[in-house]
Structure formats: structure tokens, C-alpha cells
Amino acid sequence: MHYVIIGNGVAGINAANSLRNYDEDAEITIISYESEHHFSRTALMYVFCGQLSEQCVEPFERDHYEKMGFKRVNDKVTKLDTNSNKLYLEKGETISFDKLLIACGAVPAMYNWPGQDLDGVGNFVTWQNLQWLQEKSKTAKKAVVVGGGLIGIETVEVLLQAGIDVTFLVREDYYWPIALDKTESTIIAEHMKHHKVDLRLKTAFAEILGKDGKVVGVKTGDGEIIDCELVVIAVGVRPQTDWLKDSGVTMDERGGIIVDEYLQTNCTDIYSAGDCASVIWFNNVRRPEQLWYTGRDQGKIAAANLFGMEKIYKRGTFYNSAKFFDIEYTTAGLVNFNLDGEKNFYSQEEGTHNTVRITYLPDNKVVGFNMLGRRWDHRILVQWIDEKRTLSWVLDHLHKALYDEEFMPQFKLNKQVS
Amino acid sequence: MQTGLMSTYKSSLKSKGIIAWVLSLLLFAFYLLIYFTNIPDSWAHLVGLESKWNLYGVLYTIAIIAGGLYFINTHGNSRYQKFRTFTLIFMQVVFAFSIPEIMGMFESKGFNFAKFWPLGIELFNPKYIFDYPILIIVYAFVGSLIAVPILTLLYGKRWYCSWVCGCGGLAETAGDSFRQLSDKRVKAWKFEQVSIHTVLVLAILSTALVIINWGMHYENTAGEWVTDYATFDLIASKVQGTYQFLVVAMLSGVLGVGLYPLMGSRVWCRFFCPMAALLGLIQKFGRFRITVKDEMCISCGNCSTYCEMGIDVRAYAQTNQSFKRASCVGCGMCAHVCPRGVLRLENKWDFRKTADSENRKVFDF
Ligand SMILES: Cc1cc2nc3c(=O)[nH]c(=O)nc-3n(C[C@H](O)[C@H](O)[C@H](O)COP(=O)(O)OP(=O)(O)OC[C@H]3O[C@@H](n4cnc5c(N)ncnc54)[C@H](O)[C@@H]3O)c2cc1C
Ligand code: SF4
């Protein structure tokens, strides 16, 4: 049996590991072009600022492929032939497979803005982006970062640290409205300003201005011109699936590979996982999940199904965590979904960034948590949501879900309901 | 990002650049001079101190105070780190330095109350310890044989290795800038398991020989302390001397500190310290463990990188395995630097299986 995995990211490598566990003798080939070794994309920012070395962000030792008996092909797949189960690579090689996993991830979304091809415009998503930004940050004095999400704020943080003045353009009324409410977002905005970020809310981005092929500034929707030598665009990512266009693999309108609950595509023996796979969410919306741990999960489940087991990929209650400069963030369940009749309990510890928001329904059952500042154990929060605990019960037990380092100041609730 | 850690890999000092090599060379030279020559005595006299050992004590204490304050300045936003470092400074200044010095002023032999057997194997040397008042003798025995194991069962070896110990104290303060240099490879772990337990065996052997040899001595009619077993006496003192030279001088001093800028600050503690070996064995049966929050790790590698003991923490975190490791000194930096709050140091009896050296999964599926 020859399994071929396209992609050396978290989905691809975890699928390969699992496959090897199921099948000791199978031939397993991993094809990718971005980097020789599997690395943690989530840690790009730490490499940029020198907190980690390039090798620090490789989750496995370098002899992992050899030890596990994976064949590693460093090339780009340009075409998939679903009739003959063949892959065509850029350097001319062809590879046949018995079963295929497409875990080719995502690339930065770019929407054909005027000036986007100028020297000094780029993204912060791939290994090549990292090298580009390291190079550019040596000379740049002023940068504009476009896009109010997580990659945006991480980019702002590392550029500031490199001694570059940063203007952060956010189109929305406040930073990251899909995850934060206005109060929470304001805390983050104040924190950014405290770190000397020139944050511009409600500011669209219209055009990049250049001179002699190089960036000299950015023009906002209002016509204001901001001088800069560097523009980093972080308005999201899209599945890296252009090469699949005429292959017969069905995709959604944004290029996400449509998979069923077994992560199988419309073609037998072809599966997909990770940032490129369009899965059905709990609320029946179809889109890729684009998170680290879901990528890992999907990789493992896809491997089981490639091997011939029948494992269903079912997402439990949503959770995630992140960090905005120094402020840690934990979320679980349904917050910011504007559910019918939802109410929010809100508490902030005086003189700190530590907030607690608990979303509950008219029957007092808690459906979501949004926490800033302190560390929380998402496993407990998720459990409470699944057990349909009431708000008052949750408030009485909340301290049990704390996950702070030892000796941190005692947790205090300031009850107020909004 | 973590204040104080940014630019680690851009700094020549912290990433084995030229400056690190020069510093390592200077440290080697300094330790060789201190241990094997009398030249530093003249430096001591210059600053009005009695001997090179007093000078060494002063320098050591200054290094811990200065390094400790610097550490608190960068990582003091974590109260665990703050309390721990203040305690280390206090232990060095009061117990390791001042009390022995003051005792010296009263014409008695100094005693370091922060040192236990087998870190100081002399504590179980009758010839050495019986010179002290009875209270100190009791302290040394009860401390080493009862208090230390109990505290370790309750809190892990961290209460000693990263809160009290002088060797750990230097590593955590002046040596903090080098924690990322520890070798994380499985190879290094395998080596450590052999080397550290070998030294423990040597320490026990050397102690046993010294005690037996002492028991074979008696006071003759002329009031002299003699033995009828001259060969055994010779072997015992040879073994003791070799241990003193090899382990105490070479491994803990010259190599241990000399290699700070190249292999991290815990070379001695990780590969050779008999105390760490013993506490590590006890730790495995105790309450202390590192808990991992399931499916939250982003495999960034901060925890592994900043583990001074070379534990590949990420290997546990990314596979959802809470763990106990004999070598973990509980400095807490993995939890502190983790950007997703995955890790937590905990003392709790929990007999569910934790991962350790025997059953660690490299990946889960
Ligand atoms: C800066 C940044 C920070 C992030 N932080 C977080 C975070 O904190 N938490 C979180 O949950 N998620 C985070 N994410 C998202 C997370 O990194 C992704 O969801 C995850 O990496 C997706 O993994 P993947 O395996 O699906 O794809 P990728 O990691 O993108 O891997 C794709 C692989 O496919 C290969 N490939 C693609 N096309 C081809 C081709 N045609 N031929 C051959 N090979 C090909 C590539 O070489 C690559 O190896 C972050 C993302 C970025 C960019
Ligand atoms: S446990 Fe934390 S620091 Fe360690 S790899 Fe995972 S996310 Fe990074």
C-alpha cells in the first residue's frame, strides 16, 4: 500500500505518524515544498524576534522521517490525475499513489489591491514570508499592518520589537469583533496603544503607493496617506488549492476542499485535512477550521480512514486560546454568536486586564466563556457547557477552572450583568 | 512574546557566539586557578579577605544577588518566579554565606545549613561531622535522611534544587541567560540517566567506605587514632580523594560552571549531581507533576527551549501527556513562557498514570 501525503504541516505530519502506527509496513511518502522539516507555523513570530531559533520550532527531531520510515519529497505538486491516481510534480517527477491525503494548507489572501506587487509588500504566514520580513525589517523604519485578526496583531508585536513604528489598520469598528466584544476589544486596544501601536480603527485600506517599484506609503479609504517602507497584509488565509482546479476534486467557492464527516473528498481514496479542508461546523456552516489543534485532529482522523477504519470527525464544543502582547485569552463555547435572548455576565478585576465574560441563555444555561488576562482550564469550561450548567452554579465554581501559575493573586469576581 | 527572552538567539553571549566562548574560557581559567593553585589567595588579600575560599564565597554570593535581581526584573510578573528567586538569594546570603562566616568569627568551624548529604558527602564522614556540636550533627542526619525525602515527596525536588540549593541558585540567577543551551535530544537524556546515577553510586560508595574505615579505627594506648587495616585505609582515602577531585572540583566547579555559556547552566545538576539523582528518584513517587492541558499546545517549542534541564516538554504537551520527570527541578519556566497556558506545576496525589521515561509516547493517534 502506498500512501501519499501532500503537506508537511501539522495535519500532514500527524496523519503520517498515525498511519505508521496503524500500518508498520506501508510505504508513506510526504511531499511538500515550503521547508525541509516540519515546523510550527504558530511560532513564526518567536523566530522572527529571536526568542526561538529556527530549529527550536521543529516539533520532532530531525531524524524523525528516517526513524519512522517516511519518504520525504521536496517538491511542489502541480497536477492531480484522479483517473490514474497520479501526481505530477514541478521538477518533472510523477508519483502514483494508492491513497492520497491532501493537507496542503492555506496561503495569505490577497484581493488585487493596487500596488500589492510592489517591493516591500508581503505577508507573515509562510517560512518564506518569515525570511522576507527578517530581511526587510533590517532597514524599514515604518510599517503598516493591514487586517485586524490574530496574525495581524502578532505581526504588529514583532515589528515593534524590531524597533519599527507600526500603524495597524483595522477595518472594523473595534479590534477582532468575531471573538471579542467592545469592552474586551477596548482593553486590547488600550494595551496596544500602551505598547506604542498607532492603531486606526474603522480604517479601510485602499491602495499601496510606490516609487521606483518600492513601497512609499499606504492610502486609506478616507484618502489619508500614511508613509511607510513596509506593508504586511494579514486579512486572512485561503486554501492553497489552485493546482486542483481541473482535477475533479470538488471545492467550495473559496477553494476549500469539500469533505464528508470521514474527511473524504468526492473521490474514493482521496482525503483532505487541515487548513485546506472545508468541513461542516456545528451550526451547519461549511468552511475550513484553520486552527492548529483541529489540523492535528483532522490529520489523525484522516489517517485512520485512509487505513480503512471508519472514524467520524466530529467537532465538540469550540475552544481556543491566544495571546495579545502580554494578555492571555481563552474562549470556549458560543460567544459572539448573537443567540436568541442571550445575555452576558461580565466581570473585571479592578486595576487589571483580567476579565470574565459568560454568555448564557434565557433558561440560565451557560453556553460560552470569553476570558482575558488569567489562565483558564478550557477542559473544565467545555465540560460545564456540555453539562448545561446554570450561571449561578458556574459562578460559584468558577475558581475551580483557574489554571494560573502558582502564587498568583487570588481571583475575585466583580458581579455585574449586562 | 516574553520580556527578557526576545533576541536570545540574536545575542552572541546567549547563542554560543564568540562572546560565549571567551566567557567560557575565562570561567574555566578562574575555576582551575581557584581549585588547583594558590594564586587567588593573593587576590583575596588584596581586598582584605583571608583566603581564596572567602573570596570565592563573596563572588558567588554577589553573582547570585545580581543575577537574581536581574531575573526578577525580567520574570517577576510571575509570582512563582519572584518568590522562588527571592528565596534563593536569601538562602545564599544567609545560610550559605553569612552564617558560616559568622560561625568562623567565633572560632568554630562554619556550617552550611542549606547543604545536605549526598551533595556534601562530608556530612556523613564521622571525622568531619563529629567535630560539630550535637545539634548540628542531628540536623545533618535528620535533615538528609528524613526531612529532605519527605519534603521531596510532598513538593518535588524543586523545593531544594530551585529554591534552596547554592548550585541551583547560581544556575537560576547568574546562569539564567544560558538556560536555552541545554541539549534536548533523546541522546542527551540517555546519557544523563547513566551519568547521574553513576555519580550517585560513587557518592554512596565513597561515603560507605569512609564510614567503615572510621569504624575500623581505634584509639591506641598512646592516644593515637589508628587502624590495623592499612591497605583499606589507603583505598578509602584514595576513593575519597578521587571523588573530591573528580566530582566536587572538576564536575561541579570547573565543568559545571565553565560550560554555562556553551551547554547551559545545569550541566552539573543534570548530568552529575548525586543529590539531584537521589531527589529525582524520590520525586517519581511523590506528588509533584507537570499537568498538560489537552489539545491546547501549538507546538511552538518555547517550553522545551527554555527548559534548563533539557527536558523536551513539548513532546509531552503536544501529545496531551501530563508528566513526571526525575530531572525536573520545577523552576517553572516552561509554564511561564508558554504562550497558551498549557502547562502547570502541581502538587497533588494523583495515581493516574503520568508519562515518564518508561512510557512516554512520541506521538498519539
Ligand atoms: C502566523 C500564524 C500564527 C498562527 N497562530 C495560531 C495559533 O496560535 N493557534 C492556532 O490554532 N492556529 C494558529 N495558526 C493557524 C495554524 O498555523 C494553521 O491552522 C495550521 O498550521 C494548518 O496546518 P496544515 O497542516 O493544514 O497546513 P500548513 O501548515 O499550511 O501546511 C501545508 C503544507 O502543504 C505543503 N504544500 C502546499 N501546497 C503544496 C503543493 N502544491 N505541493 C506540495 N506541497 C504543498 C506546504 O509545503 C506545507 O508543508 C497560525 C497561523 C499563522 C500563519
Ligand atoms: S506547551 Fe506551550 S510552550 Fe510548549 S510547545 Fe506547547 S504551546 Fe508551546
Q: Considering the entire predicted model, what is its pTM?
A: 0.95
Q: Is B294 helix (H, G, I), strand (E, B) or coil?
A: coil
How far is it, in rounded angstroms, from Cα B203 to Cα A244?
Answer: 66
Cβ-Cβ contacts under 8 Å for A107 (sequence gap 6 or more): A125, A126, A237, A238, A240
B15, B186, B341: residue with CB nearest A328: B341
Report how far ligand 1's centroid is from the alpha carbon of A10 (Å): 7
Q: Closest approach of chain B CAs to the CA of A417, in angstroms?
A: 28
pLDDT, mean of residues A78-103 = 97
Prior bond of B118 cis (ω within 30°): yes
Location of each CATH 3.50.50.60 domain in chain A: 2-107+238-306, 121-235
What pLDDT digit, counting tens, does each position of A215-258 carry?
A: 999 999 999 999 999 999 999 999 999 999 999 999 999 999 99
Chain pair A-B, CB pairs under 8 angstroms:
128
Q: List chain B residues with CB under 8 Å of A50.
A: 6-11
**B2 assigned to some structural domain:** no
> Residue A230: phi, psi to the nearest 5?
-140, 130
Task: Using the 3D structure, point to which of B234, B265, B286 is the last residue of a domain.
Answer: B286
Longest dimension (CA), chain A: 65
Q: Exposure of A242 by Cβ count < 10 A (0-12 exposed, 13-18 middle, 19+ buried)?
A: exposed
Q: Closest approach of chain B CAs to the CA of A54, in angstroms?
A: 9
Q: Amino acid identity, residue B309?
A: M
CATH number of the domain located at residue range(s) A2-107+238-306 in this protein: 3.50.50.60
How far is it, in rounded angstroms, from Cα A369 to Cα A346?
Answer: 10
How far is it, in rounded angstroms, from Cα A120 to Cα A106?
Answer: 22
**B4 assigned to some structural domain:** no
Q: Is there a contact between B360 and B323 (Cβ–Cβ < 8 Å)?
A: yes
> Residue A363: phi, psi to the nearest 5?
-80, 10
H or E element in which residue A184 lies: helix A182-194
Residues with CB under 6 A from ligand 2: B 297-303, 313-314, 317, 338, 340, 342-343
Q: List chain B residues with CB under 8 Å of A316.
A: none
Task: Using the 3D structure, point to which of B286, B313, B346 is the last residue of a domain.
Answer: B286
Asked if the Cβ–Cβ distance from A18 to B363 is below 8 Å, we say yes
Same domain, B265 and B342: no
Q: Closest approach of chain A CAs to the CA of B344, in angstroms?
A: 6
Q: Determine the pLDDT at residue A418.
A: 54
How far is it, in rounded angstroms, from Cα A96 to Cα A87?
Answer: 6
Secondary structure of B230-283 in the HEC alphabet? HHHHHHHHHHHHHHHHHHHHHHHHHHHHHCHHHHCCCHHHHHHCHHHHHHHHHH
Same domain, B301 and B270: no
**DSSP state at residue A74:** E
Q: Determine the pLDDT at residue B356.
A: 66
Which of ligand 1's atoms lies nearest the C-alpha of A274? 26
Evaluate if residue A272 carries a pLDDT over 80. Answer: yes
**B326 assigned to some structural domain:** yes
Q: A121-235: which CATH topology?
A: FAD/NAD(P)-binding domain (3.50.50)
Asked if the Cβ–Cβ distance from A51 to B6 is below 8 Å, we say yes
Same domain, B199 and B258: yes
Lowest-confidence pick of A156-165, A263-272, B96-105: B96-105
Ligand closest to B304 (CA) is 2
Q: Is there a contact between A301 and A310 (Cβ–Cβ < 8 Å)?
A: no
Report how far ligand 1's centroid is from the alpha carbon of A272 (Å): 13
Task: Using the 3D structure, point to which of B230, B263, B286 is the last residue of a domain.
Answer: B286
pLDDT values of chain B reduced to their tens digit, one per residue, 365 residues: 677 898 999 999 999 999 999 999 999 999 999 999 999 999 999 999 989 999 999 999 999 999 999 999 999 999 999 999 999 999 999 999 999 989 988 877 889 999 999 999 999 999 899 999 999 999 999 999 999 999 999 999 999 999 999 999 999 999 999 999 999 999 999 999 999 999 999 999 999 999 999 999 998 898 888 888 999 999 998 998 999 999 988 999 899 999 999 999 999 999 999 999 999 999 999 999 999 999 999 999 999 999 999 999 999 999 999 999 999 999 999 999 999 999 999 998 876 667 765 566 766 66
B293, B297, B305: residue with CB nearest A377: B293
Q: List chain B residues with CB under 8 Å of A14.
A: 363, 365
**B1 assigned to some structural domain:** no
How far is it, in rounded angstroms, from Cα B92 to Cα B100?
Answer: 11
Longest dimension (CA), chain B: 77
Asked if the Cβ–Cβ distance from A50 to B11 is below 8 Å, we say yes
Q: Does A37 lie at the interface with B, CB-CB under 8 angstroms?
A: no
**B259 assigned to some structural domain:** yes
How far is it, in rounded angstroms, from Cα A150 to Cα A161?
Answer: 17
Same domain, B254 and B312: no
From B151, B59, B136, select the one nearest B99 (Cα to Cα).
B136
Lowest-confidence pick of A178-187, A339-348, B241-250: B241-250
Outline where DSSP puts E strands in chain B.
217-219, 225-227, 288-292, 343-347
- Chain-centre distance for alpha carbon A372: 19
Q: Determine the pLDDT at residue A39.
A: 98
Same domain, B304 and B291: yes
Asked if the Cβ–Cβ distance from B1 to A161 is below 8 Å, we say yes
Same domain, B174 and B297: no
Q: Is there a contact between A107 and A241 (Cβ–Cβ < 8 Å)?
A: no
Mean pLDDT of chain A: 96
From B183, B187, B318, select the one nearest A63 (Cα to Cα).
B187
Any idea what the CATH number is for the domain that residue B321 is in? 3.30.70.20
Same domain, B19 and B80: yes
CA contacts within 13 A on the Cβ side of B114 = 25
DSSP labels for A45-63?
Answer: HHHHTTSS-TGGG-SS-TT
| CA-nearest residue, atom 7 of ligand 2 | B297
Asked if the Cβ–Cβ distance from A300 to B365 is below 8 Å, we say yes
Q: Determine the pLDDT at residue B106.
A: 84
How far is it, in rounded angstroms, from Cα B322 to Cα B289?
Answer: 7
Q: Closest approach of chain B CAs to the CA of A296, in angstroms?
A: 9
Same domain, B262 and B209: yes
Evaluate if residue A285 carries a pLDDT over 90. Answer: no
Tell me which chain A residue has its CA closest to the CA of residue B362.
Answer: A60
Instruction: Give the count of beta carbons closer than 10 Å to the beta carbon of residue B249.
Output: 17
Q: Is there a contact between B322 and B334 (Cβ–Cβ < 8 Å)?
A: no
For chain B, what percentages of helix, strand and coil (3-state, to nearest 5) are there?
A: 60, 5, 35
What is the count of structural domains for chain B?
2
How far is it, in rounded angstroms, from Cα A6 to Cα A25?
Answer: 20
What pLDDT digit, counting tens, does each position of A286-323 carry?
A: 999 999 999 999 999 999 999 999 999 988 899 999 99
Same domain, B300 and B221: no
Interface of B with A (CB under 8 A): 1-2, 5-11, 15, 77-80, 83, 180, 185-186, 293-302, 304-305, 314, 318, 332, 335-336, 339-341, 344-345, 362-365
Asked if the Cβ–Cβ distance from A21 to B365 is below 8 Å, we say yes
From B365, B363, B359, select the one nearest B318 (Cα to Cα).
B363
Same domain, B150 and B124: yes
DSSP labels for A83-103?
Answer: TTTEEEETTS-EEE-SEEEE-
**B343 assigned to some structural domain:** yes
How far is it, in rounded angstroms, from Cα A96 to Cα A94?
Answer: 7
Same domain, B64 and B179: yes
Question: Residue B135 sits in which domain range?
Answer: 9-286
CATH class of residue range A319-407: alpha beta
Same domain, B343 and B250: no
**B3 assigned to some structural domain:** no
Q: List chain A residues with CB under 8 Å of B6.
A: 49-51, 161
Kindly report the CA angle at B147 between B141 and B149, in degrees rounded to 5?
A: 105
Q: Would you state the cell numbers that stand for residue A41, as one nine-digit string?
A: 507555523
Taking CA atoms, B128 is separated from A401, B35, B205, B241, in Å, by: 52, 20, 17, 14
